[in-house]
Amino acid sequence: MILKLIKYEILSKLCIAKKKQHYAKKCKQLHELLFNRNNKSFIPQKFQRKDLWVCEGTIIGGEQFIDIGNNCWIGPNCEIVGGPAPIKIGNNVYIALGCNIFNNNHKYDNNDNLPFNNEHISQPIEIGNNVWIGMRVIILPGVKIDEGVIVAAGSVVTKSVPKCAIVGGNPAKIIGWRNKDLYEKLVKEKKFLGIHDLDNPANHRYIIQNNFKNYLSEPMPETHMVVERESNPPISS
């Protein structure tokens, strides 16, 4: 009986040591990925799928802690780094260029080192379905962004965001709301923008307001894109 207990204890220690070694290896890979600026992009095999579009220059680190849904588009030069807490991104999520999503932070409220010590605090991040995240947004640890949310460009999201809210600023605050009835109608009818539509110029439509009429007086170049003029009255000079 004693020999069995000793054997079990040895095996348990070996198992824990192996897990620690595996985790340390993953942390080292993640560290090299983040701080080696020679990396132009890093997209793990897990995220090289037909229903997920990841643009050049984007880094996705800690893939075993990250889950990305269907029909998602991630713009260029984004960094999404997870672990050991998870990052979950829903379906039909569009993330514009230069966004940063990290779920780790440093501890600073102790006497070990300045400006912070080498301990990490990891908190989960969740992004719901049908979310649009504008350019250069930063999403911090512990944030939950509910479905249908729009995050304005340049925002720093420090707190959770309710369904169909429009947020902006640093820190991000609610600045408006989606039309919830229209949102539910579009969800029910499954009218989702396809990720491959963004790559086809023929599917783009631009609305140019009348106050840009001086610009429009120049001949427009040949293009596949549809250009419409909005009927708003011009701004007087």
Q: Which residues are designated catalytic?
A: 106
Lookup: tokens for 218: 């120049």
Is the alpha carbon torsion for 51, 128, 152, 101 positive or negative?
Answer: negative
| The amino acid at 171 | P
| The amino acid at 168 | G
What's the Rg (C-alpha) of the chain? 23
| Those residues with Cβ within 8 angstroms of residue 35's Cβ, 6 or more apart along the chain or in another chain | none
Q: Are 47 and 74 in contact (CB under 8 A)?
A: no
CB atoms inside a 10 Å sphere around CB 96: 19
In angstroms, the CA 76 to CA 59 distance is: 9
| Those residues with Cβ within 8 angstroms of residue 105's Cβ, 6 or more apart along the chain or in another chain | 120, 121, 122, 123, 140, 141
